[in-house]
Amino acid sequence: MQQLKIAILSSIAWRTPPTAYGPWEQVASNHCEELVNLGHDVTLFATGNSVTNAKLCAVVPSGYAETQGMDAKVWECLHISNLMEQAGDFDIIHNHFDFLPLTYSRLVKTPIVTTIHGFSSNKIVPVYKKYNDTSHYVSISYSDRHNSLNYTANVYNGIDSRQFTFNETSDDYLLFFGRIHPDKGTLDACKIALATNKQLIIAGLIQDADYYNQKIASLVDNNQIKYIGNVGPDKRNELLGKALAVLHPIHFDEPFGLSVAEAMMCGTPIIAYNRGSMPEIIKQNVTGYIVENLEEAINMVPKLKLLSRKDCRQHSLDNYSMHTMAKGYVEVYNKIL
């Protein structure tokens, strides 16, 4: 295998890898570390407090979302330009930073691969379209592809299986793990738990405070419904692994769903609404149940006992390991070079 000099450009909202929330930073970290394991010469461009076995190059001391008083736009400019001014030192640049680095792509000779982690809105699509013919776009699910863009490949996000302990048996609680936001369906998760008389544990970052205060807070009694805040890797592993199921009643088209792959890696099945990538990520009636509405989700809870936790683990190992992801990206690099 030819050794490549690869620059990984991570987001700087949070540390890479994040201490708690930070899905883009987590994927960038997993990607970077496995490329190192495969023998490539990798430099990670991330926050200065990031942790990596690659070379670390940073101008930003810490994530702007976790450091009071930082101007995100200023630090993003400094961060991206820091890499682009060194572009000639690398065989390939891999952008996990959304659309802004594309504006440099015609100014440097080094090929840039961009993983599109989702579209925050259609307003950003014109930037991708402008660089459609000179960039190399990778989707994280086929469902998240925009019909006006050209894609080099689809590579599913990969996770570190060593961080997720397989549990053959579970406790009797349901888990909501993710952003507290209407898109993620936190309220629906509460309704599922109440209708089935199951305990629900809610873990995640409150991204919409009004939604939490107006819709969720009154249901949190710290008995049947508990909110435990944003959690780190150890607690995440414990919560995902011991849950009867993870509830993912989303109200938007999920680009991938990292917590879904992580739950299955622990052996925990999913109940999810049929939106976005869910039919791609979940194996229906094997690793979970994809449903159309709240009533169907409620009806699936008693059927969770029919699913094999070993099948959940194996499905995630086969499709969503960071080794599989890194190999997929190396194939992309070789194709381009």
CATH of the domain at 187: 3.40.50.2000
Residues 266 and 328 in one domain: no
The number of distinct structural domains making up the chain is 2
pLDDT of residue 333: 97
Residues 33 and 139 in one domain: yes
pLDDT of residue 1: 61
Q: Any idea how long the chain is?
A: 337
Residues 86 and 42 in one domain: yes
pLDDT of residue 120: 87
pLDDT of residue 42: 98
Residues 39 and 181 in one domain: no
Residues 116 and 220 in one domain: no
**List of the chain residues with pLDDT < 50:** none
Residues 57 and 104 in one domain: yes
pLDDT of residue 98: 94
Contact between 327 and 144 under an 8 Å Cβ cutoff? The reply is: no
Residues 108 and 153 in one domain: yes
HEC readout, the chain: CCCCEEEEECCCCCCCCCCCCCHHHHHHHHHHHHHHHCCCEEEEECCCCCCCCCEEECCCCCCCCCCCCCCHHHHHHHHHHHHHCCHHHCCEEEECCCCHHHHHCCCCCCCEEEEECCCCCHHHHHHHHHCCCCCEEEECCHHHCCCCCCEEEECCCCECHHHCCCCCCCCCEEEEECCECHHHCHHHHHHHHHHHCCEEEEECCECCHHHHHHHHHHHCCCCCEEECCCCCHHHHHHHHHHCCEEEECCCCCCCCCHHHHHHHHCCCCEEEECCCCHHHHCCECCCEEEECCHHHHHHHHHHHHHCCHHHHHHHHHHHCEHHHHHHHHHHHHHHHC
Domain housing 191: 161-319
pLDDT of residue 2: 86
Residues 328 and 305 in one domain: no
pTM: 0.94
Residues 268 and 325 in one domain: no
Residues 69 and 17 in one domain: yes
Residues 236 and 304 in one domain: yes
Residues 78 and 173 in one domain: no
